[in-house]
């Protein structure tokens, strides 16, 4: 039986999106969305927590992400529409406030991720142009702010990312990581480097298990991005058939690349040195291939992290715009510029939040860790939603994950949110401030609407996209 999800034909007067993405383009989109700032900027910070066995937290993070991905496979083939976690939360629980908080958490994760990327961009920019900027503040902060301003201007002009651009940037990102792996193979073949370090746990008194758990809370940042691909479901050909296979394959590819990069990095650079600064992979290139033009690799890294920031700020501003149009936060944030046709107030608001994070937090581990914290909370809800929505049958075939996986996914994601994992308190503070701002916006809008006798329409998560 054919359905609108399979055919893409309009039902009644409502047209659907044009289905143009086959398995190849979908795979490139997924891989490109996962690759980026995480592995380029955080490998050294993970090494600070777990020592030479830096690859282990990436494997654990990959396993947790893969389990949650199976939940997304079921939900996206069951409800092949845009809106992702907010849509699934709304269908499962039917509570507008909970749906709003999940959507706002996703938006905040985009801002913290973009701020992480801006910090990494600034550090690599300094290396590329040999600015020799020392310390965590000063010009690094200035460059980060200027970069975020550039993202806002591009966003304001309405330059949307296309599938072709995503393919190009994915190739650039992947090329940089393959260079690292190639350097590692060269070093192994000529007897350079110390590959024995990959089994050394230097956990600073935490113990092997404690060190791995603490490092996993940070390494998980490198695995996020796959959840964005659910927003492409309405533009995929036969999503029920190709999406599960491509998501699984995309995670396998990126997980394998990450582990090989982590092993190469620690074999060529000792953990203590790798954990210094925000450009760990540049140190790997310098140590393993001193004659390789570092400027080239620095520019590759710049493109990789810039792509992450642009995509995340675009997503964050559009989510905020959608919530404003739904009447759940002040409607002014949904105003569109007459000439550019972009939500300029939402862009300005999200950019100011990113400025605040760059100025008052700044450090990559705290920003990246907060991104992972917010999304782990969202993933916990999504895994529970899979089980709840088993009571909601649909009239088309869809992927069904084994029941044990969403249970394990909810427990593992929920556990990685807890303070017992060794997650720094500052990350909870940042997340609390951002989500508290969402609460204030919600409460202010609710109060003003009641005062003026305005009844907001039911919150429709599909309108967020």
Question: 180-211: per-residue pLDDT in tens?
Answer: 999 988 887 777 788 888 888 875 556 778 88
Q: What secondary structure does DSSP assign to 356-379, as a single string?
A: HHHHHT--HHHHHHHHHHHHHHHH
Q: What secondary structure does DSSP assign to 44-60, as a single string?
A: HHHHHHHBT-THHHHHH
pLDDT at position 295 over 70: yes
Distance between CA atoms of residues 382 and 386, nearest Å: 6
Note the CATH architecture for domain 19-464.
Up-down Bundle (1.20)
Instruction: Burial-class residue 249 by CB neighbours within 10 Å (0-12, 13-18, 19+).
Output: middle
From the list 267, 251, 207, the residue with the least C-alpha distance to 55 is 267
User: What are the residues whose beta carbons fall under 8 Å from the beta carbon of 304, sequence distance 6 or more?
Assistant: 35, 36, 37, 40, 169, 172, 173, 176
Among 59-63, 99-103, 162-166, 208-212, the range scoring the smallest mean pLDDT is: 162-166
Distances (CA, A) of 277 to 9, 19, 212, 295: 52, 44, 21, 17
Q: What is the pLDDT of residue 3?
A: 44
Percentage of the chain with pLDDT > 90?
31
pTM for this one?
A: 0.85
Distance between CA atoms of residues 57 and 422, nearest Å: 14
Six-digit token pair at 441? 């916006």
Six-digit token pair at 261? 């990069």
pLDDT at position 441 over 90: no
Q: What is the pLDDT of residue 161?
A: 45
- The H-assigned helical ranges of 79-157 are 84-93, 96-128, 139-157
From the list 274, 24, 39, 313, the residue with the least C-alpha distance to 173 is 39
Distance between CA atoms of residues 434 and 430, nearest Å: 6
In the structure, what pLDDT confidence band is assigned to residue 57 with cuts at 50, 70 and 90? very high
* Extents of the domains making up the chain: 19-464
Task: List beta partners, residue 51.
Answer: 201
């Amino acid at each position: 039986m054919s359905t609108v999800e399979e055919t893409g034909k309009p039902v009644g007067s409502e047209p659907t999106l044009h289905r143009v993405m086959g398995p190849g383009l979908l795979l490139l989109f997924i891989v490109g969305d996962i690759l980026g700032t995480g592995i380029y900027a955080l490998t050294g910070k993970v090494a600070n927590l777990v020592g030479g066995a830096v690859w282990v937290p990436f494997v654990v993070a990959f396993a947790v992400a893969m389990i949650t991905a199976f939940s997304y496979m079921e939900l996206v083939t069951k409800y092949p529409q845009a809106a992702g976690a907010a849509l699934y939360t709304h269908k499962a629980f039917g509570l507008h406030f909970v749906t709003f908080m999940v959507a706002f958490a996703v938006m905040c994760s985009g801002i913290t991720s973009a701020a992480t990327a801006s910090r990494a961009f600034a550090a690599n920019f300094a290396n590329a142009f040999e600015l020799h900027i020392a310390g965590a503040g000063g010009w690094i902060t200035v460059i980060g702010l200027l970069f975020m301003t550039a993202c806002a201007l591009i966003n304001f002009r309405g330059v949307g990312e296309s599938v072709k651009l995503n393919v190009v940037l994915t190739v650039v990102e992947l090329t940089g990581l393959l260079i690292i792996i190639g350097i590692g193979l060269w070093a192994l073949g000529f007897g350079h480097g110390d590959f024995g370090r990959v089994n050394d746990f230097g956990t600073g008194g935490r113990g092997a298990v404690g060190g791995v758990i603490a490092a996993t809370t940070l390494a998980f940042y490198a695995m996020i991005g796959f959840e964005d691909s659910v927003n492409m479901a309405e533009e995929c050909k036969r999503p029920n058939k190709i999406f599960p296979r491509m998501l699984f394959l995309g995670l396998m590819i990126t997980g394998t690349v990450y582990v090989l990069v982590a092993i190469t990095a620690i074999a060529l650079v000792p953990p203590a040195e790798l954990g210094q600064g925000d450009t760990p992979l540049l140190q790997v290139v310098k140590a393993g291939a001193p004659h390789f033009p570092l400027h080239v690799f620095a520019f590759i890294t710049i493109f990789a992290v810039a792509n992450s920031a642009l995509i995340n700020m675009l997503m964050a501003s559009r989510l905020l715009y959608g919530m404003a149009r739904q009447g759940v936060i002040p409607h002014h944030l949904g105003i569109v510029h007459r000439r550019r046709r972009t939500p300029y107030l939402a862009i300005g608001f999200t950019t100011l939040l990113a400025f605040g994070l760059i100025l008052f937090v700044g450090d990559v581990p705290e920003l990246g860790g907060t991104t992972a914290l917010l999304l782990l909370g969202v993933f916990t809800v999504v895994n529970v939603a899979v089980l709840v929505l088993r009571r909601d049958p649909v009239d088309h075939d869809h992927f069904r994950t084994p029941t044990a996986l969403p249970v394990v996914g909810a427990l593992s994601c929920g556990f990685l949110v807890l303070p017992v994992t060794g997650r720094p308190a500052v990350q909870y503070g940042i997340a609390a401030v951002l989500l508290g701002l969402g609460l204030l916006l919600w409460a202010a809008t609710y109060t003003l609407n009641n005062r003026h006798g305005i009844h907001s329409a039911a919150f429709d998560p599909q309108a967020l996209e």
